[in-house]
Amino acid sequence: MELDFTLLWQHRMFMVKGAVVTIQLTFGAIILGFILGCIAGIGRVSRNTLFRSISGVYVYVLRGTPMLLQIFFVYFGIPQIYMALTGNSMTPDPLTAGVIALGFNSGAYVAEIVRSGIEGVARGQMEAARSLGMTHGQAMRHIILPQAFRRIIPPLGNEIIILLKDSSLVSVIGAGELMFSARVMGARYYDYVQFLAGAALIYLFLTFVISQLLALLERRLKVA
C-alpha cells in the first residue's frame, strides 16, 4: 500500500473546522477551569471551614473519577435529572456539554496548581503583611496572590496542553472536534491512516503554538 494524502487534502476544510471546534473546547474549558480552579484553590487554603471542605470535596471527586464518566454525566445524566425535577426535556448541545465537563474537570487540577502556588509563597510574607496592618484577605489579594500567580503560569500552561488533548474525548458525545472529524472521514473511506496522521499534525501544531505563547508570557513576567 502506498501512502496517499489526496483524500486528506480534499477534505482539509473539514479537518480545519474540527480543529476550530477543538480550540473552542479547549479555551472555553480553560477559562471555566481557571475561574473554578482559582476559587477552589483559594478555598483549599481558606480559614473558613465550609469553604475549605466544599473545595476539598470538589477537587477529590473530579480528580478521582474518569473524565469520560464526567462527560457522560453532563451530557446524559444532567438532562435526566432535569427531566425528573421539572418534567421538561432538555437536549444539550455537545459542544456546551463538552466545555462544561472539561472545564469542571480541569478546575480541579487548576485548584491544586493554585493551592501549591499560594503555599509556595513564603509564610513570612503573610506575617509581614499582617504586622504592617493588613487583614488576612487584603494580604492575600495584594501580596500573596500576585506572587502565587507567577508561580502558576508554567504548570497552568501544561494544563492547557493536557486539556487540548483531552478534548478529543468529547468526540464520544458527538461534538465535531478534530478527533471526531478524523474518525468520521476514516470510516467513510475506510482509510484511517491519512486522517489520523492529519489530525496528529494539527494537534502537534497547536501544542507547539501554545507552548511558544507560554514561553513568551513567562519571559515577560520575569522581566516585569
Partner 1 sequence: MSLEIRKISKSFGGVKALDDVSLSVETGEMICFLGPSGCGKTTLLRIIAGLEYPDGGSMYLDGRDLSSLPARKRNFGVVFQSYSLFPNLSAAANVAYGLECRRWPGEKIRKRVEEMLALVHLGDHARKLPHQLSGGQQQRVALARALAPEPSLLLLDEPLSALDAQVREELQEEIRRVQQHLKITTIMVTHDQEEALSMADRVMVMKDGTVMQTGPPMDIYKRPENSFVARFIGKMNVLPAQKEIPFQSHVAAEGSRPRIIGIRPEDVQIACCGREEGTFSGVVDQVVRLGNLTRVSLRVESTGGREKDLLILSELQGMGEGLEVGASLPLCIQPENVRVLEWH
Contacts to partner 1 by CB under 8 A: 122, 124-125, 127-135, 138, 143, 146-147
CB of 158 to partner 1, least distance (A): 23
Phi-psi region of 32 (alpha: psi -120 to 50; beta: other; left: phi over 0): alpha
Identify which of residues 14 and 149 has a Cβ nearer to partner 1 in the complex.
149
CB of 139 to partner 1, least distance (A): 9
CB of 125 to partner 1, least distance (A): 6
- CA atoms of 93 and 22, how far apart (whole Å): 15
- CA atoms of 1 and 122, how far apart (whole Å): 62
Amino acid at the residue 116: S
Identify which of residues 45 and 126 has a Cβ nearer to partner 1 in the complex.
126
CB of 213 to partner 1, least distance (A): 23
Looking from the CA of 151 toward its CB, the CA atoms found within 13 Å total 16
CB atoms within 10 A of CB 6: 8
CB of 149 to partner 1, least distance (A): 9
Identify which of residues 129 and 175 has a Cβ nearer to partner 1 in the complex.
129
- The answer to whether 175 and 25 have CB atoms below 8 angstroms apart is yes
Identify which of residues 102 and 148 has a Cβ nearer to partner 1 in the complex.
148
Q: What b/e readout covers 69-80, taking b as 16+ CB neighbours within 10 angstroms?
A: ebbebbbeeebe
Identify which of residues 122 and 201 has a Cβ nearer to partner 1 in the complex.
122
Radius of gyration of the chain (CA): 21
